[in-house]
Amino acid sequence: MDYELIGQRTKAETSRVAIIQQLLDDCHTKYLDCLTTLSHVGANLNRKAGSMSQRDFPSIAESAEELQDRLTHEHSAKRRNRLHLLFLIRSGQVKTREQAAQHLLVHRNSIKNWLNAYKAGGLDQLLHVGTTGPKPEQKSLSAPVYEALKERVRHDGFSGYTGAQEWLQREFAVELPYSTVHKLIRYRLGAKLKRARPRHQKNDSDAACFPARLTRFLDTLFAFSPLPVRLFVQDEARFGLHEGITRRFITAPGVKPHQLVLPRYEYTWLYGAAEPATGESFFYEMPALDSACFQCFLDEFSLAFPKHMNVLVIDGAPAHIAHSLVIPDNVVLFRLPPYSPELNPMERVWQDLRKRLSTDLPAALEALVSDMTRVVREYTPEIVASLTGYAYLRQAIAQPK
C-alpha cells in the first residue's frame, strides 16, 4: 500500500475543505452586512414616509365641528366625500393618503386631487364639482336640430328610435348611431315608447274647444255662485275576478313568464272623483254602472263637500245623462265632448290603481274589494294631484282677477 500517496490526498482534501469553509465565512459576513444595510435603508424610508405623511396634508383652516356640521347638511355625495376627507384629517383619524383612500373607498389620486384643490382655493375650490359630459362644441346635435327633435317628440313622436334616427338623417343630414339616438331621446328628453291610444276622428274640433268652454263656464260660476267653487273630474272603472293583472317579470333569456288567470265573471264598480288642484279625492264602490248607482254616488259626493259648489266633469255615459237623476244643489255636472277620454285624467288614476293591485288571484270578490280599498287608502293628495293635474284643468279653475 502506498501510504505516501494516501497522505497527499488527505492533505489536498483538507485544503479544499478549508477553502470552502473560508468562502462560507465570507458569504455569511457579506450577508450580515447586507442585512445591516437594508435595516438602515428601511429606517430611513420610514422616517421619510413619516415626514411625507405630515407634508401630504395641508393645514385645515376649518374646525372639526364646522366640518361635521357641513357634512351633516350636505346632500351631494361628491361634496360629502370631500368634506369627509377634511374631517378625517382635522380630527386626526387618518395619517396618510393611503389611509384616507382606504377609509373613503376612493383612489389615492382622487385624494391627491382634492388636497391640491383645497391648497389652491380652500373649501370653495374643493367643493366645486364640474358638470360631466362633452363640451358644448362637442355635442352631436346643433341647437336648431336639437330643438326640432324636441318639438317632434312633444307632438308627433316617432314609431321607434330607428324612426328618429332616419328622420334626423332625412331632415338634417345628421347621421348618429342608434345608441346615441336612444340615449338622447330616452334619457335627455325623457321620452320613451308608449302604446298609442285609439282616438276617434270626430273628437278633434270638440276636444280642442273644450278647455276654453270649461274656463268660460267656471268664470261665470265664480261670478254668481254664493259658495266657493271647486272643480272635480269623475269617472268609473270596472274590476272583476276574471281580469288577469299581468305585469312584467325578470326571467332568464328565452324564458317567457306565465301568470295564472281564471274565467270568473264577477264584477264590481269603483266610482271616483278627484280635484286636480289639491289632489283631494272621493271614491265609492257600487255593484253596477246605472243611473241608480250614479244617483247614490252624487248624493254621497254632495254630502262629502257640503260647503262648496262642486263642478263635476263627467263623460257622456248613459247613467250620467239619465232623466231620472236628481242633481244635488251644490253639484254641477259639466260634460266632456264625445270620443275624448284623454281629456279625463281619472283614466290615469284607474291605470295606476290597477298597477298597484296584487298580482295574486283574489279568492272572491270581497278579497278584490279589500285590495282595492287598500290601494285607495294609500293614495295621498300629492299622488292624486300628480295623476290628475292636467294643465288645462289647473288653468280653468284659477279664479279670474
pLDDT in tens, the chain (401 residues): 444 544 555 666 667 667 777 777 777 777 777 777 766 666 665 555 444 444 468 888 899 888 888 888 888 888 899 899 999 998 889 888 888 888 888 998 999 999 999 989 888 888 888 765 555 444 568 888 999 999 999 888 898 899 999 999 899 888 889 988 999 999 988 888 877 766 666 666 778 889 999 999 999 999 999 999 999 999 999 998 875 556 677 888 888 887 766 677 888 999 999 999 999 999 999 999 999 999 999 999 999 999 999 999 999 999 999 999 999 999 999 999 988 888 999 999 999 998 888 777 777 889 889 999 999 999 999 999 999 999 999 999 886 54
CA distance 79 to 216: 52
Asked if 353 and 289 sit in the same domain, the reply is: yes
- Counting the structural domains of the chain, the total is 3
For residue 6, being part of any structural domain is answered with no
Q: The domain spanning residue 239 has which CATH number?
A: 3.30.420.10
272 within a domain of the structure (yes/no): yes
Is residue 282 situated within a structural domain? yes
* Rounded CA Rg of the chain: 39
Same-domain status, 305 and 214: yes
Together in a domain, 268 and 147: no
Query: Do residues 75 and 168 both lie within one domain?
Result: no
Backbone angles phi, psi at 357, to 5 degrees: -70, 155
Residue 384 and residue 243 in one domain: yes
On whether both 271 and 360 belong to a single domain, the answer is yes
In a domain, 347, yes or no: yes
Domain that holds residue 74: 64-126
pLDDT of residue 43: 61
The answer to whether residue 376 sits within a structural domain is yes
Closest CA to 70 of 115, 62, 60: 62
Predicted confidence at residue 48, as pLDDT, reads: 52
Residues 214 and 314 in one domain: yes
Does any domain span residue 167?
Answer: yes
Pairing of strands 309-314, 331-335: parallel
What is the identity of the amino acid at 203? N
Do 183 and 295 lie in one domain? The reply is no
> Residue 247 has what pLDDT?
64
Question: For position 13, what pLDDT does the model report?
Answer: 64
In a domain, residue 158? The reply is: yes
Nine cell digits for residue 159: 314609431
Q: Tell whether 253 is covered by a domain.
A: no
Same domain, 109 and 222: no
Residue ending a domain, among 72, 101, 126, is 126
pTM above 0.75, yes or no: no
| 370 and 239 share one domain | yes
Answer yes or no: do 212 and 353 share one domain. yes
pLDDT of residue 137: 43
Q: How far is CA 174 from CA 36, 150, 191, 251, 369, in A?
A: 71, 15, 20, 38, 54
Q: Assess whether 240 and 306 both reside in one domain.
A: yes
